Structure 1
Amino acid sequence: MMLADANWLRDELELLTQCLAVANLLGMDLISYLDEFGNRALAQALGVTPSLISQWKTGRRNVSPESAIRIERATNSTVTRAELRPDIFGPPGESRDQGAA
């Protein structure tokens, strides 16, 4: 990895960390989170394309249970798995893990 790439990645991670701190204060759902911070940072954190994030946002594709857990982790629980998939994880605020990881 070139030094410029490493510096860019460090800067992106720092920006994502700052975004997460703000988002935690606001308690956002996925659409609000993406409207505020964009698709790219979350896509990078999850290792998926911004196009997939856009499909989730518009409802063209459902978020899989596994992706819901990954989004919850990537957003530091700002967006919860229960908000994304209440059919699997129960209503928001109810802690229920179905073993998906």
Structure 2
Amino acid sequence: MFEWLERWFGEDDFRGCGFVNAHAELGATSEAVRDVVERHKQRLRDYLRGLVAEADDPGLLAEQLLVLVDGATVTAMVNPRGAATAARAAAQAAACLTAACRG
């Protein structure tokens, strides 16, 4: 997952997560936008949970990984020159979390 993020962050047209951007722009005033963003994040959370289904607490680990994904994405958007570093840092943190949560 984090290798994919690093490739995505390096694309010429990378502008961050469209869902996070939409929420930042309209989420406070648009329930429809907020609902779409929440559904997207839940699908991503569910996907991550599936990847770590063998962990002691896959729900908690998926939530932690989602924080890493979102944090790396925002970091890469704000500092494009540090995008690869953000992805690698998130990957290393994910490896530590995953190792600590193995059942």
TM-score bracket relative to the smaller structure: 0.3 to 0.5
Task: Return the structure number with greater relative CO, CA threshold 8 A, min gap 6.
Answer: 2
Identify the structure with the greater helix proportion. 2
Give the TM-score, by structure 1 length: 0.34
